[in-house]
A and B are shown apart, each in its own frame.
Chain A
Amino acid sequence: MVISSFEDFRKKQSLYQKSLEKQYKKVIVCGGTGCVANGSIKIFNELKRLIEEKGILADVDLEKEHEGIGMKKSGCHGFCEKGPLVRIEPEKYLYVQVKVEDCEEIVNETLINNRPIERLMYHFNGKVYKTQESIPFYEKQTRLVLEHCGHIDAESVQEYIANGGYSALVKALEEMTPEEVCDEILHSRLRGRGGGGYPTGNKWKQVSSFKSDMKYVVCNGDEGDPGAFMDRSIMEGDPHSVIEGMIIAAYATGAKEGYIYVRAEYPLAVERLTKAIEEARKIGLLGKNILGTDLSFDIHINKGAGAFVCGEGSALMASIEGERGMPRVKAKRTVEEGLWGKPTVMNNVETFANVRKIIMNGSDWYRRYGTEKSPGTKAFALTGNVKNTGLIEVPMGATLREIIFDIGGGITGDKKFKAVQIGGPSGGCLTEEHLDMPLDFDSLTGVGAMIGSGGMVVMDEDTCMVSVARFFMNFTQNESCGKCIPCREGTKRMLQILDKIIEGKGEMRDLDLLEELADTITNTSLCGLGKTAANPVVSSLKYFRDEYIAHVVDKRCPTRTCSKLRVIRINPDLCRGCSKCSRICPVGAIEGKIKEPFKIVENKCIKCGSCIESCAFSAIEEV
């Protein structure tokens, strides 16, 4: 059924809202990748089965008004550490780490008898948190973009509409000219969430200023940073918000076709986006004469084959065009000559998801969030040695302390905080001295890191910063497209030097060489990947130079992470000569006579540490 006018749309919206109200209870099972991997689909099916067994409707079709329990698969709730998650409305209970065995109890107790199940609720420091909103992880967040994630059925366009979805599109088409839309976005100071931080409004204005028979809107969903999953969660949890943003961009710029470039490793995102596009097309929100207006726009999905560099705009376009995913140099910019040489708006997923909020509430409202130069919020994927890992959203300008200690609950095992890597392999590390620095695009660049797409890896005192730098350099070297010389050859040689250092073969001049190569790569590489490839090394050299020196000069890894630098000794005073260690040693590196102290043969030892754990007398120690 096609919605062919604004009036039609409003009628539908009000019908869906009424139907939604008839659902006297809503059970929102997290259908994000993390929870799905932990078995949430089974839980969903079991809950639905049990409810229907009781003769209660558990449908989400909003075309018909009927009483019942709304069973929904939502996008990522964010609190991945505690998944699978089940939210019950209207009580706002959040049940964590739910198992299939718990389903019967949930149905009988909570759904039928309205009683909370305390044991399934989040416990922290002896306190039970009844509602989701009261949990510190959520309490400290500001969810604009992730508003729907975990709250609505991610697979239903009806629910999206009932929750105010596509109203921004209607507003733009009905009340605003394309110029006004561009101006509103420009005035909101929305900046590209993909990492570059370029003002989105500028981009749109430029594209709309070029005359062309064809223009494109491209959504960059090729999120590839290790530990980053913000865009995935938005595509999975609120696909229509991305589509709505893209349609508004098309209206504002005069584009006729759109592409969403998603990694094939995000099958759930691909599935939900595909379904969302089909549903939007079915009701006339995509295709010819959208909502009965002159606007015609459709979206294709392009699956990426998993090359990190395809997140770089020009490589992404090359990939869509069927070429090898390599960045291109061009004299003219994407806004003028983008996809297939036509003017192109390219924004990332999170940027598009912001659009409807700005159009709906106005740019002044939007600028109340965040900082003067970086308004709005930013989603981060919080991972690493932090208690509450997951997907979070905070206003720009939030501090690391708020994110890691308030939302994240502090460091796992209450260890000491050491550093946080922001922006993945393109970013840098921040240390204790930056804990109270307000985070935004400019502040991070100022200290040698970058927001990137928003991956945030927290590291505790046991993390070896040289190894971390090596990890990211290895990633970049593998993911370099190989086109330009400084990135291809330079990262290879930097990686070699880092390998040398963690193997204890480094020399002091290697540190200079690292810095010289970093300087060359940063300043001469073709694309963003190369220009930022050295950041993890440069920033760790800046803040943790002592650790490098310990590896190079003392041949010692202060955190005992680098296995080749371990020194393992048998204390002859404690060794009883039982021979257990020599039997356990996988390489036969421990020799001795029974009842006499054993010895480790240095050149055979692979520093695996098995002997340390095996010794009953604690005679083997790492020094």
Chain B
Amino acid sequence: MSSHQFPPPAPTTRREFLRLSTCGAGLLAFGRFAPTFLVNSARAAAPAPEKDRSILVLVQLAGGNDGLNTLVPFEDPDYYRLRPTIGIPADRVLRISDTLGFHPSCGALQGLFRDGRLAVVENVGYPNPNRSHFRSMEIWETASGSSDFVQTGWVGRYLDSACGGIPTDSHDPLAVHANTPNGEPPTLVGARQHPTFGLAAAGTRRGGSEESRRILERDSPEGHTDDNVGFLRQTLMDTLVTEVRVQKLLDGYRPNGAYPSNPFAASLRSVAGLIAGGLPTRVYFVTLGGFDTHVDQAPTQARLLTVLSEGLAAFQGDLRAKGLDGQVLTMTFSEFGRRPGENESKGTDHGTAAPLFVLGSRVKGGLLGSAPRLNLPRNQDLSFSTDFRSVYGTVLDRWLGCRSKTVLGADFPSLPFV
């Protein structure tokens, strides 16, 4: 930790700011709705995608997905003791090993697992877990220790580090996101400003006319300040330029195979369209929310896992048909798993560790990590066995090609999924 500052310092000069805000590593994040800017005058033709890129797609399962009913230890009597009404019967589980099986809604994921393209990391968490949605999500997004408070997201720091010394004049979106409930996900916030781009909710028209656009589109030195006004000026500038290009790519996109008709799948379809369009974006962020199942968990989780499983399978199939699957690694995460013992409302309360999925044709499929011990008293939580920063570290070192210690501040044991 002595050779570099952690987190890295903010840019201090306009020149440095410009260099950083137009560097080569980009980032896109999607929320729940399909984009619908109306852009009529896009002209730029999409270049062919680079052949050897590595792209990360983060899928956030917001609300705290119940891990024990996602990856079911159907041979463990303690599982059924802790979950007398919401436990999934062994004969309905989709088996992936002698002792573990997926939730019945995860048929498509079971197929990807059998094909060796899906890795399941068991029991992922962190020491001294926090059961607040917001604090725990913050810990996952900033990759901090449980008692540390960090202002930047782990992907933001990756961009800080990856962006050093890559000067280009591109106006391509470096950080793009859409309709995530609170705007830009904190995961993507760096010490330096990386321009973000969000896709509009269904029904939005791109505001303004060409005349207004020409007056607003300006790039003067005094605009580049690091206060809120500078942030607004820079965001508007990047937006005006990017809108045209992104919409052109999405309008012209023809996926291979059908995506389910739900907003999550539509977001993945847009990600595929932008990847296929050759945007120089390295990280995409898509949210699927609603996992906070305190009451009557079974129907809600079944619906959400169907959306997740079928959406990811359609995405993977589309990429594969286009020969882009070798460039993309998709990873899920959630702020916490849920309490092993069900509550009296046929639901589960906030808990700790849970499994996560890593998907891609260059992923080494299979089960990783070790299963949680379930011989617990009723109200006790799981003890994690794999630190989530091991997963991040592996992705950084072996997929994104970035020294993980510069982003995570320490070395964590890597996992053999890539």
Asked if chains A and B come from one complex, the reply is no
| Interface residue ranges, B against A (CB under 8 Å) | none
